[in-house]
């Protein structure tokens, strides 16, 4: 049945198979993979140099801020996915409905 803010009552046993089958958990895993891909692509291939010049330039119109922004967003998105994934793991163990409400609102606000 339904509990406070979309979770069962606190104190239930952790079922890994049921946990991984939840849509929000699958979405977080996919989001973390995509964030890692964005970060890795920009770090690995986001900078190039001219054959006669050893300095590196960002591939986005030689604008360093564009590469830094993409790398920063990739890192922030990956860390947020990991944080909210851990929140999803411990969410059923949180008995205080006020804490649950703030975690759900933080997830909603960050996603927005």
Residue 15 lies in a domain: no
Q: Report how many domains make up the chain.
A: 1
Predicted structure pTM score? 0.75
Q: Is residue 109 part of a domain?
A: no
The predicted structure's pLDDT at residue 5 = 54
Does any domain span residue 104?
no
Q: Is the pLDDT of residue 11 over 60?
A: no
Tokens describing residue 42: 């920009």
Q: Which domain holds residue 78?
A: 20-92
Confidence of residue 48 (pLDDT cuts 50, 70, 90): confident
Kindly write down the DSSP assignment for every residue of 35-79, as one continuous string. HHHHHHHHHHHSEE--TT----EETTTT-HHHHHHHHHHHHHHHH
Considering the domain boundaries, does residue 105 fall inside one?
no
Any domain includes 12: no
Over residues 53-71, mean pLDDT: 86
Note whether residue 39 is domain-resident.
Answer: yes
């Amino acid at each position: 049945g339904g509990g406070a803010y979309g979770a069962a009552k606190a104190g239930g046993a952790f079922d890994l198979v049921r946990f991984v089958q939840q849509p929000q958990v699958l979405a977080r895993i996919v989001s973390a993979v995509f964030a890692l891909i964005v970060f890795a692509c920009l770090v690995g291939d986001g900078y190039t140099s001219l054959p006669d010049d050893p300095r590196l330039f960002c591939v986005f119109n030689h604008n360093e801020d564009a590469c830094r922004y993409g790398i920063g967003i990739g890192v922030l998105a990956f860390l947020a996915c990991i944080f909210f994934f851990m929140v999803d793991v411990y969410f059923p163990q949180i008995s205080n409905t006020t804490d649950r409400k703030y975690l759900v609102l933080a997830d909603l606000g960050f996603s927005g």
